[in-house]
């Protein structure tokens, strides 16, 4: 195929409203072939909404879109595709058919087209094109593997390859790196750079990991509350701090809440715990009252598996857990909740919320008994009042506490799950990557809330691969590698380098 002609896309005066929300107002946005533009903003700023205008999902926009000076209407996903605009969402699974092979998934639309028209499919050709496309991207994935068997990072590659097969000129990547490990992120960037340079594609890159932008982007557009507040080149003197200030509209300093909490007696104790399929094994750990205990480890180290095992979502084959000295044996999550544990899961949108329910129902569900009236009914009034506090505490962006969770922005859905567990009355709170996908301002609010829990004598387990955050928030840290705890350190006596050393298998 080779290099495609250069194109310039411009969106002018784009506005869009949803019931109760002015999601975009008078937005201008430009994109050029062969360049990578970062799109940044706090949770709910309008990034995904703007990109869904471009990809033909949000069809009731006003304003104009031009490609090379030619006005075009994008009123359906097909219209976007016909213009060479492709989007890869963070939830890659929605766009893939797990039972089909890598090759078939790359060629999915071509195949669907042919089959729809009852034309004969040349399977050899399908495999050849798919294989060649992956090779062009510089990616090695077995094209006959089933998509259900490949990693998330590989699934993203399959979707990028599909976009290439479909002659895409503009590629939108909505928070692709949030679930990736550092190594995976580096390979991902290599592929993106490659398609930009050799195929002349124009890329929009959305991320809350601001440091990444400097590695890969040339321009940055910053949004705040549905408008564009900055549009600039990324120059060496541009700092993350400046970006954050534009993003939040105020001065911001990354600090961690001061930990002057009195640490009490041992609250939660785990001895020799092993998960039935050995996903984690020989786990010894303890958490004291008022203590924040970090679980540091890279993606794949077993942090999520550990959290799920503690919470009874995975069965154990051995070991012991004690809460306040009493033996507990969570056979399932509801038993764990009963015993006094709470887990904010990593896959929040999948496991943590009922997306079709209103916000107030979601944030109160883990503590329903708090909202009972004398006659034993759940008081909606009290639920809503509590929900309004959660909205305030976490800065959740929503028109009201009655909004359906599915209609909130990605990061705000994450905050709803966190709010849900903060409302519950547990003794030990387990957080699995709580800051993933949330903006830097909201992160700060989450740290404050976690510290508040500690101040109230709760025990906190905080699992994350963001070492700087772990160091900032924890009192003590366990480091995981390959399903085991390999080292225990005091947060004040270690550094990122040491965490990295042990979490990559150093002994």
Half-sphere exposure (Cβ direction) of 313: Cα atoms closer than 13 Å: 15
Partner touching 309 among Mg ion, ligand ATP, none, CB below 5 to 8 Å by kind: none
- Closest to 280 measured CA to CA, from 258, 259, 310: 310
- Closest to 309 measured CA to CA, from 279, 352, 340: 279
CB 227 within 8 A of CB 26: yes
CB of 91 to ligand ATP, least distance (A): 12
Asked whether position 105 contacts Mg ion by CB under 5 A, the answer is no
Which window, 28-36, 159-167, 302-310, 406-414, contacts ligand ATP (CB under 6 A)?
406-414
Of all residues in this chain, which one has the CB nearest to Mg ion in the complex? Answer: 48
Asked whether position 494 contacts ligand ATP by CB under 6 A, the answer is no
Cβ closest to Mg ion, residue 24 vs residue 336:
24
Q: Is the dihedral of CA 478, 480, 485, 486 positive or negative?
A: negative
Asked whether position 57 contacts ligand ATP by CB under 6 A, the answer is no
Asked whether position 48 contacts Mg ion by CB under 5 A, the answer is yes
Asked whether position 290 contacts ligand ATP by CB under 6 A, the answer is no
Cβ closest to Mg ion, residue 130 vs residue 408:
408
Among 411, 419, 459, 483, binds ligand ATP (CB under 6 A): 411
Cβ closest to ligand ATP, residue 288 vs residue 436:
436
Cβ closest to ligand ATP, residue 46 vs residue 340:
46
Cβ closest to Mg ion, residue 223 vs residue 310:
223
Cβ closest to Mg ion, residue 48 vs residue 451:
48
Asked whether position 410 contacts Mg ion by CB under 5 A, the answer is yes
The number of angstroms, rounded, from the C-alpha of 294 to the middle of its chain's C-alpha atoms is: 20
Asked whether position 23 contacts ligand ATP by CB under 6 A, the answer is yes
Asked whether position 74 contacts ligand ATP by CB under 6 A, the answer is no
- Closest to 247 measured CA to CA, from 210, 204, 205: 210
Half-sphere exposure (Cβ direction) of 49: Cα atoms closer than 13 Å: 28
Asked whether position 45 contacts ligand ATP by CB under 6 A, the answer is yes
Residue count, binding to ligand ATP (CB under 6 A):
18
Rounded Cα gap, residues 12 and 23, in angstroms: 15
Hey, what are 424's tokens? 């519950």
The number of angstroms, rounded, from the C-alpha of 426 to the middle of its chain's C-alpha atoms is: 25
Report the site for ligand ATP in 253-282 (rule: CB under 6 A).
none
Angle, alpha carbons 314-319-321 (nearest 5°): 80
- Closest to 490 measured CA to CA, from 501, 499, 500: 499
Q: Max alpha carbon distance in the chain (Å)?
A: 73
Rounded Cα gap, residues 487 and 475, in angstroms: 15
CB 360 within 8 A of CB 389: no
Among 33, 48, 105, 304, binds ligand ATP (CB under 6 A): 48
> Residue written as tokens 């002057």?
260
Asked whether position 226 contacts Mg ion by CB under 5 A, the answer is no
- Closest to 42 measured CA to CA, from 225, 176, 220: 225
Asked whether position 294 contacts Mg ion by CB under 5 A, the answer is no
Asked whether position 177 contacts Mg ion by CB under 5 A, the answer is no
Q: How many helices (H) and strands (E) does the chain have?
A: 17, 20
Asked whether position 90 contacts ligand ATP by CB under 6 A, the answer is no
Hey, what are 205's tokens? 């890159």
Cβ closest to ligand ATP, residue 192 vs residue 438:
438
Asked whether position 414 contacts Mg ion by CB under 5 A, the answer is no
Asked whether position 294 contacts ligand ATP by CB under 6 A, the answer is no
Task: Give residues in contact with Mg ion (CB under 5 A).
Answer: 48, 409-410
Report the interface residues with ligand ATP, using CB under 6 A: 18, 21, 23, 41, 43-49, 397, 407-412
């Amino acid at each position: 195929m080779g290099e495609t002609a250069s194109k310039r896309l411009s969106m002018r005066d784009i506005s869009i409203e949803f019931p109760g929300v002015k999601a975009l107002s008078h937005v201008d946005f430009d994109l050029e072939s062969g360049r990578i533009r970062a799109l940044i903003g706090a949770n709910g700023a309008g990034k995904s909404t703007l990109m869904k205008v471009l990809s033909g999902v949000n069809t009731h926009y006003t304003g104009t879109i031009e490609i090379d000076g030619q006005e075009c209407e994008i009123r359906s996903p097909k219209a976007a595709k016909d213009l060479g605009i492709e989007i890869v969402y963070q939830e890659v699974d929605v766009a893939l058919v797990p039972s089909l092979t890598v090759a078939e998934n790359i060629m999915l639309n071509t195949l669907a087209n042919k089959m729809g028209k009852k034309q004969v499919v040349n399977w050899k050709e399908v495999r050849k094109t798919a294989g060649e496309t992956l090779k062009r991207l510089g990616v090695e994935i077995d094209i006959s593997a089933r998509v259900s068997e490949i990693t998330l990072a590989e699934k993203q590659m399959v979707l990028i390859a599909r976009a290439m097969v479909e002659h895409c000129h503009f590629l939108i990547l909505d928070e692709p790196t949030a679930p990736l490990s550092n190594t995976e992120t580096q390979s991902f960037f290599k592929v993106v750079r490659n398609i930009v340079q050799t195929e002349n594609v124009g890329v929009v890159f959305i991320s809350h990991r601001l440091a990444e932008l400097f590695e890969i982007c040339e321009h940055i557009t910053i949004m705040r509350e549905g408008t564009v507040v900055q549009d600039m080149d990324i120059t060496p003197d541009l700092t993350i701090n400046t970006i954050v200030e534009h993003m939040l509209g105020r001065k911001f300093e990354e600090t961690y809440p001061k930990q002057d909490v009195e640490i009490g007696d041992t609250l939660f104790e785990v001895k020799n715990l092993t998960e039935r399929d050995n996903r984690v094994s020989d786990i010894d750990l303890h958490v004291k009252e008022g203590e924040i205990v970090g679980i540091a480890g890279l993606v794949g180290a077993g942090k999520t598996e550990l959290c799920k095992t503690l919470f009874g979502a995975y069965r154990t084959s051995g070991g012991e857990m004690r809460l306040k000295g009493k033996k507990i044996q969570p056979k399932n999550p509801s038993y764990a909740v009963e015993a006094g544990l709470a887990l904010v899961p990593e896959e929040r949108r999948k496991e943590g919320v009922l997306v079709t329910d209103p916000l107030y129902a979601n944030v109160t569900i883990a503590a329903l008994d708090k909202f009972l009236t004398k006659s034993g009914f759940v008081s909606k009034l009290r639920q809503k009042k509590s929900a309004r506090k959660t909205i305030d505490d976490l800065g959740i962006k929503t028109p009201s506490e009655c909004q359906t969770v599915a209609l909130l922005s990605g990061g705000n859905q994450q905050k709803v799950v966190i709010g849900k567990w903060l409302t519950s009355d547990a003794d030990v709170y387990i957080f699995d990557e709580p800051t993933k996908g949330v903006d830097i301002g909201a992160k700060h609010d989450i740290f404050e809330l976690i510290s508040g829990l500690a101040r109230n004598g709760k025990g906190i387990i905080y699992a994350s691969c963001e070492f700087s955050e772990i160091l900032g928030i924890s009192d003590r840290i366990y480091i995981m590698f390959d399903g085991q705890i390999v080292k225990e350190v005091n947060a004040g006596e270690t550094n990122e380098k040491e965490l990295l050393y042990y979490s990559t298998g150093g002994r």
